[in-house]
Structure 1
Amino acid sequence: MLSVPSCLVKGLTMIRFTTTLFLMFFISAANAGSFWHFSDKPVDSVIKIRAESVQGLVSGSGVIVGPGRIVTAYHVVNGAHEVEAEVNGEVLQGNVLLHDLQHDLALISVPTEGMPYVPLLPGDQHLAQQQLVSLVGFPFGDEQQAYDAMVSSWIDSRYDEIYVNAPILGGESGGGLFATVDGQVYLAGVITASTSTGVGEGISGGTAVPVAYLRRMLTAGRSVASR
């Protein structure tokens, strides 16, 4: 009978144990519905935005929604005489093409050809209360952060705003709210503001504008001031 050295047996046992731990971690992470089971595209499609106006420098986030097109929150670029987008460490000049004042959306032109982007949530789909979503942005203009949240409610029956149970920090405005429907990742909303439960109680959640209003602006091909 062939004899196997004890050191080899121990080594194989350690490999099997390590592999088992890895598989357990991978399966548990996938079952938990974590952001990290999504593709890398949502993360790569969210970039840092800087806008300079007479009031000073504003830092925000933006989402690539097509070749050379970035959506952000309008209040990030409102009144700016210079708009910059940081893509893969490169600072690019941008121009505001369209805006929707009422829904706090702006479309920026930036040479981002070749950069990944995710499709918009189809018009016949709506997020459900307590549905898991993922928020991606650049808090305080620092490093990108991606984290999970749940849809708490819709602000009103017309689906004007999505309310989530995660706080929105400065610099995250214009970032993306992503959701998975039937295994496909979609951009479902654009982060716009933080909310609080009352005076002195701090930030308790945040709001995002549904992409239906972005789609309307893109379809119209012009800025939208009202309904």
Structure 2
Amino acid sequence: METLKIYQLKGGDENRYRRWMDYDGLRKMGELPELRNYEQVYSMRLLDNPTPEQVYQQFNQSRPADFTGHSLSTSDIIVFQSEVETIALYVNNAGFVRLPELEREITREEKKKTEVVGFLRYLDSGETVDYTDPDKYIAAYKEGLYYCGPNTVRATTLTKDLGVCYEIEKLRVGEFGERVPDKETWIRQNSNPVKNFCAEQSRQEPESEEPEL
């Protein structure tokens, strides 16, 4: 079964000249549609296989009640996504332009959502919980430290995102009264692949300590 997604340009002055721009006009400015300039404004599971023209017509003449974006127009992007393929189409002045680079970018972003960024191990119960969402991982560790204490919960960071690693390290070290450099300095110090904190954490299991009574 396929999923239909609609992407529209984010608000703000930085996208003012891109809005309503046809594909050729964008190319003449030396640009291609980039995911970072867009936000997903709608997603739905498809029961049939509509054509791009039918999707365009629906989102102009009989928009779904839960659709909060503007009527489909030039510079918007229609995405058909299944387990085996992603098709991204730029809405042009006339017709649609397929965007292979954007398709690969969307596929990579979707894959990231299923990758484990880290896990927490609760030493008192032996429970291990995996997290794919970086924000939820950081929040869960913070909560675990608050309610359980550093001798009960252990965090192992698997992601290569140094921003996430920094937040976990700051929580870990902070519980023992030590100081961590500011984020920019810490990332610069740990960006060396030989000393990379994330790589080290992904290779090592946390020490199994008995919780303090």
TM-score category (smaller protein)? under 0.3
The structure with the largest helix share of the pair is: 2
Whose radius of gyration is greater, 1 or 2? 2
